Homo-oligomer: A and B are copies of this chain.
Amino acid sequence: MSDNNTEEKILDAAINVFQSKGMDGARMQEIADKAKINKSMLHYYYRSKQKLFEAVFKTAISIMAPKLREIIEKDEPLFDKIRNFTNGYISLISKHAYIPTFIIQELNRNPEILQDTFIKEFGNSFSTMKTTINEMVENGEITPIKPEHLIINVIAMSIFPFVAKPILKSVLQKDEKEYKLLLEERKTHVADFIINSIRLK
């Protein structure tokens, strides 16, 4: 995975184990084995399981958050923004399939973790977007909708198929290949579906 830098090898292995098994299911020994180093090294570089977990969690956030903010803050028409979000985010998550479930799982286990981080990360990004949407509604450019619901809908339709993959695969009776194709289609479908709902015809 990486070179012979021990600290990096540890973090790589920890990302692997923590993101697939969660804080409670992860074992320090397994991380050490995957990194091919002595278990003591984990504590030498990261002091405790909790600290190592926090490092992993932060990398997960740092992968997901910038793109989210970039898309939200970029000054472009709402419909373009929606298209960029669904396309960009579904692409990003496809490369990091474990992250959404990992973040959701750990945030449900301990909701306080990132309360502050998230608010200061997205606080006013959301406010400006909220007023934009409200203005468009008032100007009669889109159908009346609460900004909150529109945002939830966009995020839900983009991310949920990754989080609920095992269930949806069963319900829809798709194999791995077919399901991947479905996700690929959603990069454009989700935006089309949303815009079709809110635009005036």
The residues of A with any CB-CB pair to B shorter than 8 Å are 21-25, 101, 103-105, 107-109, 111, 114-115, 118-119, 122-123, 126, 143, 145-146, 148-149, 151-153, 155-157, 159-161, 163-168, 170-174, 182, 185-186, 189-190, 193-194, 196-198, 201
Contact check, A157 vs B159: say whether CB atoms are below 8 A apart: no
Contacts of A145 in B (CB 8 A): 193
CA distance A155 to B166 in the complex (A): 14
The 7 A-B residue pairs with the shortest CB-CB distance, nearest first, are: A197-B197, A156-B160, A118-B170, A24-B24, A24-B25, A111-B166, A107-B166
Contacts of A197 in B (CB 8 A): 193-194, 196-197
**A148-B24 contact, Cβ under 8 Å, with A157-B157, A196-B143:** no
Contacts of A171 in B (CB 8 A): 118, 122, 126, 151
Contact check, B105 vs A105: say whether CB atoms are below 8 A apart: yes
Contact check, B172 vs A126: say whether CB atoms are below 8 A apart: yes
- Which B-chain residue is minimally distant from A127 (CB atoms)? B173
Contact check, B122 vs A170: say whether CB atoms are below 8 A apart: yes
Contacts of A193 in B (CB 8 A): 145, 149, 153, 197
Contact check, B160 vs A103: say whether CB atoms are below 8 A apart: no
Contact check, B111 vs A101: say whether CB atoms are below 8 A apart: no
Residue with the highest number of chain B CB atoms closer than 10 Å, among A109, A159, A170, A172: A170
Contact check, B153 vs A104: say whether CB atoms are below 8 A apart: no
Contact check, A170 vs B101: say whether CB atoms are below 8 A apart: no
CA distance A38 to B11 in the complex (A): 41
